[in-house]
Amino acid sequence: MDILQKVLSLCKRRGLVIQSAEIYGGAKSLYDFGHLGFLIKENIKEFWKQSLLFSDESIFFIDGSILLPFPVFKASGHIDCFTDPLVDCKECKIRFRPDKVEKELGELKCPSCGSKNISDPRLFNLMFRTTLGPVDQLEEILTFVLQNSSKSKEEILKDLQEQILKSSVFLRPETAQNIFCQFMNLTKSYPRKLPFGIAQIGRAFRNEITTEKFLFRVAEFEQMELEFFVKSQDENFYFDYWLDKRVTWWKKIINSDSNLRIREYSQNELAHYAKRCCDIEFKFPWGFDEVEGVASRSDYDLLAHARASGKDFFVLESSEQRGGQVKIVPWVIEPSCGLTRAFLAVILDAYSEEPGVDAEGQEKVRTVMKLKPFLAPYKAAVFPLVKNEELIKLSKLIHDELKRRRLYSCVEENQSIGKRYAKHDEIGTPFCITVDFNSLKDESVTVRDRDSTEQVRCHWKEAVDNVVSLCQMPA
């Protein structure tokens, strides 16, 4: 079994991530996060949020709506350009992206049946479309067709498509557009001098043609995006600044630096408005692949919305040359991080198999999720050695103290100690605290470290202090 498969089955077994609607056969690219998966994801999110709130830069947040109307995405270019090429295999009828499959001697081959009988590529828009309000689209379509029956079939289709698009709302394919659209409102309420940033964490949706590799490419995912507004002359400086900051952030959630790298886009890969773009890549089991993009987007987005809405988009800056204040359109540096992909990268990086022994002393593989302690769902698990009222009472007291110190933890009293260790190794609990009969005499406990399996004996209050300090979120 490859590592992706192993991590996928661990996620299901321990309830971290489960396929959505599994009882009905599951939806291929939709997943639900269970309690522990949710907690890991929230910890990553919190770390991102804190890294911006407490940074040296002036950054504020927005939580924008997921559904947005047609003009937003017409102006942003998503209606016309947010497409991927799509081909059909004429033999087995599957659809796939020709740019994402390996070619045989330059020829396209179906990834499912191997046939070379493939249709010509056509462009497929990745946005999900729906309607807002009590609209019966079928009725509208019928009325439209009847009213235009003198036109040719092609003309009706073209006009109808345009009509439907214009009256639709779309599930945003990225969070950024809320920020650009609200730029003037937000900067009025929260006036800042350049440079400053507006950040957002939220869901984005893409009707991806190829969904595979577990959480890597899914239809519904979360993004953590920062739009950092600068003077045009500062673009290069802040591009390097944010790239460096974002890589540093990644190094704090990933154990092994060699699992990360930066890939700079060549000139012909760049969007026409982009000045520079780098992907931060993680070493997935299939090779290095993007987890975050850092792009210099010039003034493209603000000007696009200014043109389309007829509104003025600017910030006021004082000018020594001209005296007084001048209006300028800021440029944007955008670090765009996929939270769902970050979660996958974090658990793949943390997954480890090590030699171990089972409860009977037999050699066996120990599966450990070596999550950074601040990302782990439980920071500690407290075990009464056996089911004894006094041991359980002291365990609960320790648990209460951990709760009071705002460390999420649990008491586990079922199963053998070995099985309890194995479970908490798999879900990444960094510390297991065992309460035994000596604990009742001198209040000492045994603290086992998840990664080294080393055990130390100390007073339970010292154990709590240590867990608190070792699970701190890094600055």
Interface positions with ligand ATP (CB under 6 A): 174, 206, 208, 217-218, 221, 223, 290-293, 336, 338, 340-341
In the complex with ligand ATP, the residue whose CB is nearer, 297 or 341, is: 341
Decide if 6 contacts 365 (C-beta within 8 A): no
Q: In whole angstroms, how large is the CA radius of gyration of the chain?
A: 27
Nearest approach, Cβ of residue 87 and ligand ATP (Å): 17
Spatial contact of 371 and 408, defined as CB atoms under 8 Å apart:
no
Residue closer to ligand ATP (CB basis): 76 or 409: 76
**8 Å CB contact between 172 and 66:** yes
Rounded distance between C-alpha atoms, residue 303 and residue 35, angstroms: 43
Distances, alpha carbon 366 to alpha carbons 172, 310, 378, 453, 454, in Å: 42, 62, 19, 11, 14
* Rounded least distance, CB 378 to ligand ATP, Å: 26
Smallest distance from ligand ATP to CB 7, Å: 16
CB of 329 to ligand ATP, least distance (A): 23
Q: Which residue is nearest to ligand ATP (CB)?
A: 338
CB 329 within 8 A of CB 314: yes
Those residues with Cβ within 8 angstroms of residue 413's Cβ, 6 or more apart along the chain or in another chain: 383, 384, 387, 392, 395
Nearer Cβ to ligand ATP (336/434): 336
Nearer to ligand ATP among residue 202 and residue 373 (C-beta): 202
Q: How far apart are CA 368 and CA 385, in angstroms?
A: 22
Beta strand spans in 89-219 (E): 95-96, 122-125, 128-130, 169-171, 196-205
* Tokens of residue 435, six digits: 């309460």
| 337/464 with CB nearer ligand ATP | 337
Within 8 A by CB and 6+ apart from 195, the residues are 57, 58, 228, 229, 230, 231, 234, 238, 330
Q: Which is nearer to ligand ATP, 14 or 246 (CB)?
A: 246
Q: What is the number of alpha carbons within 13 Å of residue 446 lying toward its C-beta?
A: 15
Minimum CB–partner distance for residue 338 and ligand ATP (Å): 2
For every residue of 61-89, which 3-state class applies, written as one string? ECCCCCEEEHHHHHHHCHHHHCEEEEEEE
Taking the least distance from each CB to ligand ATP, the nearer of 222 and 436 is 222
Q: Which residues pair with 130 in a beta bridge?
A: 169
User: Of 338 and 377, which has the nearer Cβ to ligand ATP?
Assistant: 338
Tokens of 55: 């940074």
Structure tokens at 202: 């939220």
* Separation between Cα atoms, residue 214 and residue 31, nearest integer Å: 9
Q: How far is the CB of 265 from ligand ATP (least distance, A)?
A: 10
The smaller minimum CB distance to ligand ATP, of residues 194 and 270, is found at: 270
- The smaller minimum CB distance to ligand ATP, of residues 220 and 465, is found at 220
* Whether the Cβ atoms of residue 36 and residue 13 lie closer than 8 Å to each other: no
Closest distance of CB 72 from ligand ATP, Å: 16
Smallest gap from residue 82 Cβ to ligand ATP (A): 9
Cβ atoms of residues 116 and 108 within 8 Å: yes
CB of 366 to ligand ATP, least distance (A): 31
Residue 182's closest CA among 62, 328, 318, 304?
62
Shortest distance, position 280 Cβ to ligand ATP, whole Å: 8
Closer residue to ligand ATP (CB): 187 or 340? 340
Q: Report the relative pairing of strands 67-69 and 220-230 from DSSP bridges.
A: unpaired
Least distance in angstroms from the C-beta of 174 to ligand ATP: 6
